[in-house]
Amino acid sequence: MFRKLSPVVLAAALSAPSLLSAQQVTKKFDYAPVNGVQDLKFELDRVNLNQIVFKPGKSLGAGVRRSDASAEIRIDNNGTVDKIVGVAVVLFDGDGNVVAAGSGGTRVGYLSAGERDTAAVNFPFVFRHMDKAKTFIVTMELQEKTK
């Protein structure tokens, strides 16, 4: 029975919709990094995004088209509750074209109360015009640890 149940439970777990509602906020910034680094002021429910580091990249070479372009965002949980954090970053040029887009965040477990983490956001396939970025938007998505 147990052997029969396990795959069923696993399948149910895999197929269960994951769209639990989460808190979310979005903010737009001018693209103005200095040596790739730009300070942000961005808070939702005592979780702060206060710095982003842009790393424009290039194709990995030898026929591989993926790029190593990325951004790193520093996340501080200044609250008293552990949280799951997701961050989306979209860079636009002056004409409104997306020149890079991606997401990063909590991979496993939670960002514990009082802790700091860095989320890596990769831009592997749309990166060739990243040097033309003029603005970017950041969306932060939060889900609290259920008690």
Sites of contact with another protein (CB under 8 A): 13-22, 24-26, 63-66, 84, 86-90, 95-109, 119, 123-129, 137, 139, 141, 143
Nearer to another protein, 1 or 14 (CB): 14
> From CA 100, how far away is CA 112, in angstroms rounded?
29
Q: Cβ closer to another protein: 25 or 53?
A: 25
Least distance from another protein to the Cβ atom of residue 99, Å = 8
Give the CA diameter of the chain: 62
| Contacts for 99 with CB less than 8 Å, ≥ 6 apart | 91, 92, 93, 126, 127, 128, 129, 130, 132, 133
Cα–Cα distance, 8 to 138 (Å, whole number): 39
Q: How far is the CB of 19 from another protein (least distance, A)?
A: 5
Shortest reach from residue 54's CB to another protein, in Å: 16
Kindly tell me which of 24 and 118 has the beta carbon lying closer to another protein.
24
The nearest distance, CB 123 to another protein, in angstroms, is 7
Q: What is the residue type of 2?
A: F
Q: Tokens 């190593």 belong to which residue? A: 68
